Structure 1
Amino acid sequence: MSDLQRLLKESWTLVEEDQDKLAGYFYARIFLGRPEVRDLFPVTMDVQRARLLGAIVSAIQTVDDPERFDEYLRSLGRDHRKFQVVPEQYEVVGAALLEALRTFGRGDWTPEYDQAWRDAYDVIARKMLAGAEADTNPAFVHAEVVSHERRGRDIGIMRVRPLQHLEFRPGQYVSLECPKYQPRVWRTYSIANAPRADGTMDFHIRALGAGWVSGALVRRTLPGDMLRLAAPMGTMAVDRRSQRDIVLIAGGTGLAPIKAIIEELATFNRTRWVHVFYGARDRDDLYDLPDLQRLASVFPWLSLMPVCSHDSGWGGEEGLLSEVVRRYGPWQDHDFYLSGSPAMIRATLRALNELQVPSMRVKYDAFADY
């Protein structure tokens, strides 16, 4: 661990318990200094505060992994183009962040911590700006909903057609805004298909409790409604140079990028076996099982293992995905792609580590709403 990473992590422990207050203070300082910036954000800021903290923690965790750190921040810069951020505003954000950290670090905050965060933020800002400047996609594109299908209790499958070309790779995700129902509130959703000639994109969305955007997208959105899509992000793309067999692990609507990867593999793969573990709480939540079964019947290299964690006697594998993966293998010579809830990702990573799968062969995007 470098001195910079040590100082960042040490100092973060001083403010971690007050992170909600810290985030609120941070935004208050920005809006006091630049009132015109307030219109870029949603009326209710609770979720936005959580995004800030997620971004900070992710940056801290990746600072000693140069490749991952670089790609994460460049992607973050590309994504923030949707807010119409200009370079001068990065200085305002940096000053507000340092003031918030000093305030909640109180008497334990040292000049060394201050300099570490100053240095880290300088790198963060430069890499985000570089990512934004290098992006050839528009900051966001308008897209029309062309079809919408409800599946199960709380899942919707939506197909949209961007009005401008939006280049992406299977496995990536985008930030999405629904101006009709929740203006200025963006949420991240994985693209559930490989690129098509007509440019359409599919999204698998679960309505999460009282979730403003997810609820509107599942229960209220209709064909003809307009959305906005920001620049594609994420690094969970298939390594075409690898000759290793592949394991795809999807929990719930985490199936979306996994399905996109399967579609891409269908265009070129002939020699790599592909094993799909598709998990849900119960059989009703295996919302796309028939189509996966169809794909498995078409492509001889594709095998499918559906799993239910809380549906005894349903007719297939039972247990958590991480537990079921342990029952098969060996897996040391496979490439892994994971998508699902944070808890599912953590449990599966632990299982793969215990099964001695090299971490460099495991890809996942634990994306948060920034």
Structure 2
Amino acid sequence: MGNLSRLLKESWTLVEEQQDKVAGYFYARMFLSNPELRDLFPTQMDVQRARLLGAIVTAVQTMEDPDRFEEYLQSLGRDHRKFHVEPQHYDLVGNALLEALRTFAGERWNIEYDQAWRDGYAVIAKKMMAGAAADTNPPYWNAEVLAHERRSRDIAVFTCRPFYPLDYRAGQYLSIEVPKYQPRLWRVYSMANAPRPDQTIDFHVRALGAGYVSGALVRRTRPGDLIRLAAPMGSMSPDHSSNRDVVCIAGGTGLAPVKAIVDELSRYNRTRWVHVFFGARDRDDLYDLADLNAMANKYPWLTVVPACSDDPGFDGEQGNISEVIARYGPWNDHDFFVSGSPAMVKATMRTLAGLQVPSIRIKYDAFTDG
């Protein structure tokens, strides 16, 4: 699969700088040729436009890691059941994708690239369909919002309970739809607690810009409202067999999966020190610090270090959390979990590389709010 992966990555560079146009053309071709597919997608396509292409490109990038490739695509197939995707739809998507790539690569496109994308997409589709076919769960879970609290100018923490048991692991994420306000529009959020006997799940959400779903979840959702949850995804979960101490680095609402990991560790950990570094722009954005400090008071193995990057009056660490982590340590023998915006995760990974932390000990989640 090495040569196939090389050809896919090489050919993608021909269109990468035009990927917004590629995505627009891709959806236009798909909907013109197959108008019935339009009903599977949300009314607002501005953010959705890059998502399907992004998922395919992510799959291409993981192809050289067979285990990760398999897990990602099977999870993606399960997740796409929420769109009522049928096996025949995969061919329609593949045809539109190839046409878009050919169009924007122009004369640089060749028969070798064409065949590589046919073969690569066939593998991707097969594994996604296998993941969907093997899933005995519903396409999505209806859930009731039980509690909702605004924690800052644009952040809310809410708790919901699915009507049907939803199994997941601490550190995972899922897509949420708010049918009352934004039907057929799904956005990804991490669970903020380990699974509980009562099936309740906490989420931390920030509303930014034109975040249709995040805006609805932060500003309009109330207890009693119904939302929909899709299949859990992600592999940023703690390794129960490891005896190394743990460092969690969270930026903004990237705290959610970190909090779930700490919650899980609290149920069995007796020997591992856990350090949580929580970064935000100002103290208002340290929206869950009181609860983190309460956990640190309860668990002697837990320490919490908050930091603000733009709040000179804050009585704590100053600077980006990716810089703050370097002031502590040494971190030679720890398991790391990093969660936040793509820029925050990238900066943190650079810092950890400079501190000579082996990449195999780092799990991370990069996301964009809204």
Contact residue 156 and residue 204 of structure 2 kept, 8 A: yes
Contact residue 341 and residue 368 of structure 2 kept, 8 A: no
Partner of 2:64: 64
Partner of 1:229: 229
Contact residue 235 and residue 365 of structure 1 kept, 8 A: no
Alignment of 1:129-144 (within 5 A): 129-144=129-144
Contact residue 26 and residue 97 of structure 1 kept, 8 A: yes
Contact residue 25 and residue 100 of structure 1 kept, 8 A: yes
Deviations along 1:138-191, one digit per CA (max 9) or x if unpaired, are 110111111110111111111111111111111111100000100110000001
Pair 1:50 & 2:54 matched: no
C-alpha displacement at 1:53, in angstroms? 3.1
What is the TM-score of this pair, normalised by structure 1?
Answer: 0.97
Partner of 1:333: 333
Partner SS for 2:187: strand
Partner of 2:357: 357
> Any unmatched runs of 5+ in structure 2?
none
The letter for the 2-side match of 1:322 is S
Q: Distance in 1 between matches of 2:223 and 2:10?
A: 50
Contact residue 31 and residue 37 of structure 2 kept, 8 A: yes
C-alpha displacement at 1:56, in angstroms? 2.8
Partner of 1:113: 113
Deviations along 1:249-300, one digit per CA (max 9) or x if unpaired, are 1110111111111111110000000000011001111000011000000101
| Identity value in percent | 69
Partner SS for 1:365: strand
Contact residue 15 and residue 22 of structure 2 kept, 8 A: yes
Contact residue 335 and residue 361 of structure 2 kept, 8 A: yes
Contact residue 177 and residue 184 of structure 1 kept, 8 A: yes
Deviations along 1:96-140, one digit per CA (max 9) or x if unpaired, are 111111111111100010111111101111111111122232110
Alignment of 1:279-290 (within 5 A): 279-290=279-290
Contact residue 192 and residue 203 of structure 2 kept, 8 A: yes
Q: Distance in 1 between matches of 2:201 and 2:284?
A: 24
C-alpha displacement at 1:367, in angstroms? 5.1
Partner SS for 2:32: helix
The letter for the 2-side match of 1:273 is W
C-alpha displacement at 1:34, in angstroms? 2.2
Q: Distance in 1 between matches of 2:44 and 2:299?
A: 47
Partner of 1:198: 198
The letter for the 1-side match of 2:271 is T
Partner of 1:124: 124
Alignment of 1:1-370 (within 5 A): 2-366=2-366
Q: How many aligned residue pairs are there?
A: 369
Q: Distance in 2 between matches of 1:194 and 1:3?
A: 40
Contact residue 51 and residue 368 of structure 1 kept, 8 A: no
Q: What is the RMSD computed on CA atoms of the aligned residues? A: 1.4
C-alpha displacement at 1:328, in angstroms? 1.0
C-alpha displacement at 1:368, in angstroms? 7.0
C-alpha displacement at 1:343, in angstroms? 0.5
Contact residue 176 and residue 228 of structure 1 kept, 8 A: yes
Q: Distance in 1 between matches of 2:75 and 2:199?
A: 22
Deviations along 1:22-55, one digit per CA (max 9) or x if unpaired, are 1111112222232212111111211111212321
Partner SS for 2:103: helix
Q: Distance in 2 between matches of 1:284 and 1:44?
A: 31
Contact residue 341 and residue 367 of structure 2 kept, 8 A: no
What is the TM-score of this pair, normalised by structure 2?
Answer: 0.97
> Any unmatched runs of 5+ in structure 1?
none
Q: Distance in 2 between matches of 1:69 and 1:202?
A: 29
Contact residue 54 and residue 368 of structure 1 kept, 8 A: no
Partner SS for 2:14: helix
Partner SS for 2:15: helix
Partner SS for 2:81: helix
Q: Distance in 1 between matches of 2:305 and 2:242?
A: 23
The letter for the 2-side match of 1:227 is I
Partner SS for 1:297: helix
Partner SS for 1:239: coil
Q: Distance in 1 between matches of 2:253 and 2:313?
A: 23
C-alpha displacement at 1:313, in angstroms? 3.4
C-alpha displacement at 1:3, in angstroms? 2.1
C-alpha displacement at 1:344, in angstroms? 0.5
Partner SS for 2:13: helix
Contact residue 172 and residue 237 of structure 1 kept, 8 A: yes
C-alpha displacement at 1:64, in angstroms? 1.2
The letter for the 1-side match of 2:43 is V
The letter for the 2-side match of 1:342 is P
Contact residue 246 and residue 274 of structure 2 kept, 8 A: yes
The letter for the 2-side match of 1:213 is V
